[in-house]
Amino acid sequence: MIDRKKFDSLTQVRGEQCISLYLPTSRAGQEQEDRIRYKNTLSEVKNQLINHGLSSQEADKKLREASSKIDDMEFWQHQSDGLAVFICDGKTSFHSLPVDFENYMFVGDHLYLKPLIPLLTGNAKFFLLAISQNETKFYVAERYSITEIETNEYLPSSIQDLMKYIDGEEQLQHHSGQGAQDQAIYHGHGGGKDMEDVRLREYMRMINKGIMEMMCDDDTEPLILATVEENAGIYREVNEYKNLHESYIPGNPENEDPVVLHEKAWEIIGPDVEADVEQEKEGFGLALSNDEASFSIHDIVPAAIAGRVETLFIARKDEVWGTYNESDHSITIHEKREEGSIPLINHAALQTLQNGGTVYLMPRTDLPRPTGNVNAIYRYASVPA
């Protein structure tokens, strides 16, 4: 996975004939198609390198490591939704990523990184708590990742593990009238459904207590439950975590693949993230009326470089070639890529991120003002010259 730290390091890469490749791939079943697409793309890259002045032999040498993957079937059998390949200064890196890329290649003195932006924005962090009677698991997740967190120090691993936690709660039980009654049930003086109900409630209470200790009262990120209906209801009654999501993943999560849990969790969180993006888009019109927004790339690129762009909306499939004049902060648009051209939308996106702004990649038709292929909300209105 490419996180913000890795992304920032990629923005610093410079060299002669740096190559950026993006391809859509499949998780299973279309390895042959993916391999052929990759092979054809490398052939196109070789032609570009030759056009940049390399000999055929020099181009083959530069692409040697990348070409070695063409017939590596194990490589193609372990892909995600997209593949990014970066080649620069004798180093080649491969990144299988959960992003459905457009087929794209770029050769220049830097790497082309616009397609990676979905990994950085609209990528809400959240927590997932999977509870069954035989296991309790806790995950930290984002849009494209999920990681299990070790919780043995905080959470009972199962309802059978409950007794050791109860023994450690003696002081609490001495201060609770109900505790004495519950303790009698735990040690065999109650039975049947009453005993099961008390043990289940105590199990949920202990999980909540562990969550609160583990989070150190930081409850700003959403927490999603994955459990059966009965457990969900009881947990909500004992819950103290302020941002427990109102929806949950129903069913027994025991032995469930984390990838499947993650997909189900994003079905819950995703609409919340999309609503936040829509709210940002709705703010564009008001900002534009206050001279705090623009849909002109001539205005936006210099503003991004100056650190004025707070939020940038860019068209997924579009790019604009041209040059930036540092002396008068103007840009010149080229009808197509020429010698000295830079990808201006990519440049504006990187400058915005570098200066602490937010960038959203989307279909052009989804932009707040789709008459332009880049829209920006500024931190402040332009200062008259």
Residue 87 has pLDDT above 90, yes or no: yes
> In which residue ranges of the chain is CATH 3.30.1330.30 found?
290-378
Pick the residue with more confidence: 252 or 124? 252
Predicted local confidence at residue 189, as pLDDT: 46
What's the CA gap between 277 and 271, in Å, rounded?
10
Q: What single string gives the DSSP state of each residue in 299-317?
A: HHHHHHHHT-EEEEEEESS
Topology (CATH level 3) of domain 4-119: 3.30.960
> Tens digit of pLDDT for each residue in 31-55?
899 999 999 999 999 999 999 899 9
* b/e code 325-336 from CB counts within 10 Å (16+ = b): eeeeeebeeeee
Helices 4-11 + 344-354 axis angle, to 10 = 130
Which residues have CB under 8 Å from 332's CB, separation 6+? 322, 323, 325
**Alpha-carbon torsion, ordered 115, 118, 120, 121, to 10 deg:** 130
Nearest-Å Rg of the Cα atoms of the chain is 27
* CATH number of the domain located at residue range(s) 290-378 in this protein: 3.30.1330.30
The residue written with tokens 């990519």 in the block is: 346
**CATH 3.30.420 boundaries in the chain:** 126-272
Q: Kindly report, residue by residue over 155-175, the tens digit of the pLDDT.
A: 998 888 776 656 555 444 544
Instruction: Determine the topology of domain 126-272 in CATH.
Output: Nucleotidyltransferase; domain 5 (3.30.420)
Coil, strand or helix: which one is 351? helix
Report the pLDDT value the prediction gives residue 165, as an integer from 0 to 100. Answer: 58
Q: Is the Cβ–Cβ distance between 36 and 71 less than 8 Å?
A: no
What pLDDT digit, counting tens, does each position of 259-310 carry?
A: 999 999 999 999 999 999 999 999 999 999 999 999 999 999 999 999 999 9
Q: How far is CA 259 from CA 108, 148, 232, in A?
A: 37, 11, 21
Question: Of all residues in the chain, what percent carry a pLDDT higher than 70?
Answer: 91
Region of 158 please: left (phi>0), alpha (psi -120 to 50) or beta: beta
Question: pLDDT (tens digit, 9 = 90+) per residue, 338-352?
Answer: 989 999 999 999 999
Asked if residue 19 has pLDDT above 50, the reply is yes
All CATH 3.30.960.10 domain ranges in the chain, comma separated: 4-119
Cβ atoms of 114 and 102 within 8 Å: the answer is no
